[in-house]
Structure 1
C-alpha cells in the first residue's frame, strides 16, 4: 500500500499499476524530474487535487491487482 509520505518514484517502482491513477487525473508526476524528491502527497496536492482521495484510489487499485 502507498501513503502520502512515500516518494513518487519509489511508489511507482514498487506498484507500477498506480501510473494509471496518475494518467486518469492528468498528472505527469511519473515523468517529472521533481518526482525523485517529492512525496505522493506533495505531488498530488501541488496540482490542486485531494491527496487523500487519490491515495485511496491508488490503494484500491493495488488491492485489485493483488487479488488477481
Structure 2
C-alpha cells in the first residue's frame, strides 16, 4: 500500500513504523490517539497547525 497525505494516521504507522518518532517530533502523539484510525495525516497536520509539506518531507512522503 502506498501511503499519502490522505491516508489515515493508522495506515501511515502500519506502513512506516518509523513515522512514530517523526510524528512525535512534530508534537503529534498519534500512536495512542483514538482519531488515528479515522483521521488523515492531512487533517491531523491541519488540526495541530503543522505545515503539511514539512511533515511529508520529514516522513519521506509525497502528497
TM-score range, shorter chain: 0.7 to 0.9
Aligned length: 60
What is the CA distance between 1:2 and its match in structure 2?
Answer: 3.7
Question: Could you tell me which residue of structure 1 aligns to residue 4 of structure 2?
Answer: 3
Is the radius of gyration larger for structure 1 or structure 2?
1
Post-superposition, which runs of at least 4 consecutive aligned residues in structure 1 deviate over 4 A? none
TM-score under structure 1 normalisation? Answer: 0.78
For structure 2, which runs of at least 5 residues remain unmatched after alignment? none
Question: Could you tell me which residue of structure 2 aligns to residue 53 of structure 1?
Answer: 54
Distance 2:40 2:9 in 1: 5
For structure 1, which runs of at least 5 residues remain unmatched after alignment? 61-68
Question: Could you tell me which residue of structure 2 aligns to residue 39 of structure 1?
Answer: 40
